[in-house]
Chain A
Amino acid sequence: MNNLIILPIIIPLIFGMFMVIFRRRIILHRALSILGLAGTISVAAMLITQIQSKGIQSLNIGGWAAPYGVTMVADMLAALLLITTSVVALFVLIYAFKSIGRDKEEHYFYPLFLFLISGVNGSFLTGDVFNLFVCFEVMLISSYALISLGGEKGQLRESIKYVLVNIIASFLFLIAIAYLYAVTGTLNMAHLSVRVAEVGQDGLMTAVAILFLLVFSLKAGLFLFFWLPGSYGSPPTAVAAIFAALLTKVGIYAIYRFFTLVFYHEPQVTHLIIGIMSAVTMVLGAIGAIAYMDIKKILTYNVVVGVGFILAGLASFTAEGMTGSIYYLIHDMVIKALIFLIGGVIIAIAGTSKLKDMSGLIQTHPYLGWMYFIAALSIAGIPPLSGFIGKVYITQGTFASEYYWLGAIGLFTSLMVLFSVMKIFMNSFWGETILSEEMEKGTTKGVMLPIVALVMLTIALGLGAEGLHDYVQIAVEGLMNPSLYIEAVLGGNGQ
């Protein structure tokens, strides 16, 4: 029993609810939201040290014993994602202070933001499939409100698509849960793992597994990403950044949880399908990123490529591949938030997202230019920045499991990604300066702090990869040995 596990879910919830009561006190909203995220960061840090010393932590809510009640479980993977989520959310929040506008702030922007974080944290920490569904819904409902907040024409058009796709995905999710419960008679993830291992993963179980894979692919943007470029391109920058950084990652996390803990008996079927889907995702995403001449579109297609690459590590189903995936997952959350924020600033300054209509920004905004350059190198995985170590390990993993085609596609699409982000750099920062300071539509005042902080973070993650290695190893060990997770939930641990 460890009550700390519930705190990352209820701290944002409590702070958000307080804000709803005091609707017009925007300063209070800002202070509370910073306080709330700082609270989740410190809880996540405490959880990491506890998991490191005492193994996977669990909490049976209400004191109901494991397979019967709802269990919250914090393993190293969840805790690492938890702290990354909170840190990235904090910086995006600071960016939102200057950029989101009074009107949206009064229409519950900060409470919705915190509910979103609450749902994301809940999805990482839950040990129960139905509870996972509930946390997904908390996250999704907040995201519906955030994506349509402001009510511009483009936003409403994209939010209808977004809501429809996610409702269908949630519907399929429920059906899959019903199938799973009908076959195994339990929804506790650890118990599921035991039961599936006992009866064996036959054709029926594999079919259920693939249904779950479909559901999570819709949420993660793995292969079924047709909704993603539009939805992530339409909301304000701060919202798009937090979506790009977090929402697809929750789907990826769910795929990881299911296909390392429950459905890991038939990797030649399920994990090969994941591999093929991630290869197609990478190729299509990279083509999209190269084809468009619009900053928003290029960046959203880069999100798609990232999803494919992370899951290539899972497809390999080797310790190296998993290590790489976890490194890359953390890197991707930081870097996607960063590049969306910088992209948003560029668009705000130029007043357009079309690359053809901008040039020479390096004259007036040298710092922004070099920040973007570092972020672009990091996204492509140039050492010593944070993307490198993940790429190396994932490629190693795919080669070790003899999926040479997957590793090759991963490396090739990395080059395409580099080309696509450099295209933005060359078109917007190089060339003749056509915008004088007076003609600029927006400024960089007040928004540079989170950007600088995130750039520091990506450099630190790259240089400090060695220091992170211990924690990532614990996470990988947990993923490769389901028995550790099962032991923590079902056996002993102070219950």
Chain B
Amino acid sequence: MKEPNDIILRGVTKVAVVIIFTFAINLFFSGHHNPGGGFIGGLGFAAALTLLFLSYDVESVKANFPVDFKVVTSIGVLIAVFTGLGGVFFNEPFLTQAFQYFDLPIFGKTELATAVLFDIGVAFAVIGTAMTIILTISEDR
């Protein structure tokens, strides 16, 4: 089969993927008080990956990004559930969150919340699920 000549798509992808990754991470962190969060951030991340899979072929992306997305999903769910269990050890209800303000060297006064850990789990689960679905469909002939 003839190789498609999609130099423009590949050129744009190289730049766009970096921007989308950054935006996804920005969305993820803004989620604590503003619109965004683990779900949306994870979806953004998955969108960038999908763009990579579309413009390059599945084999070369997998060679550079050797991750089994089903495992990503399960690790994400485990992080989220174990974060939820954290409260149980302090005799609080399941999924209770805690936050505290710290003075960090570069960031200054920063709020650190256990909800972010939970959100990391959600992001992993969303990335894993979305990519598993897309890759499963693409394997179908």
Contacts and interface: CB of A to CB of B under 8 A. Distances in A.
A151 to B, nearest CB: 13
B92 interface: yes
A22 to B, nearest CB: 9
A1 B88 CA distance: 11
Nearest to A16: B74
B94 A14 contact: no
Interface stretch (A39-47, A56-64, A298-306, A430-438): A56-64
Interface residues of A, number: 16
Contact of B81 (A10, A59, A62, A63): A10
Contact of B94 (A18, A20, A23, A59): A59
A6 B78 CA distance: 15
A62 B93 CA distance: 6
B71 A21 contact: yes
Interface residues of B, number: 19
Contact of B70 (A1, A20, A59, A60): A20
Nearest to A72: B94
Q: Identify which of B77, B85, B87, B94 gathers the most chain A CB atoms within 10 Å of its CB.
A: B94
Interface string B84-107: 110110001111110000000000
Given A3-B88, A17-B78, A62 B95 contact: yes
Contacts of B78: 14, 17-18
B74 A17 contact: yes
A21 B74 contact: yes
B93 A14 contact: no
B47 interface: no
B11 to A, nearest CB: 37
Interface string A50-85: 000000000111110000000000000000000000
Contacts, number: 44
A242 interface: no
Nearest to B70: A20
Given A10-B85, A13-B81, A14-B81, A20 B93 contact: no
**Interface of chain B: mostly helix, strand, loop or mixed:** helix
A3 B93 contact: yes
Secondary structure dominating the interface of A: helix
Interface string B10-23: 00000000000000
Contacts of A6: 94
A1 B74 contact: no
Given A20-B71, A21-B74, A21-B75, A61 B81 contact: no
A281 B38 CA distance: 46
A59 B93 contact: yes
A6 B94 CA distance: 7
Contact of A62 (B70, B74, B97): B97
A21 B70 CA distance: 8
Contact of A17 (B77, B85, B88, B97): B77
Contacts of B74: 17-18, 20-21
B85 A60 contact: no
Interface of A: 1, 3, 6, 10, 13-14, 17-18, 20-21, 23, 59-63
Given A14-B82, A60-B93, A62-B97, 18 more contacts: A3-B93, A3-B94, A6-B94, A10-B84, A10-B94, A13-B77, A17-B75, A17-B77, A18-B74, A18-B78, A20-B73, A20-B74, A21-B71, A23-B70, A61-B95, A62-B94, A63-B92, A63-B96
Interface of B: 70-71, 73-75, 77-78, 81-82, 84-85, 87-88, 92-97
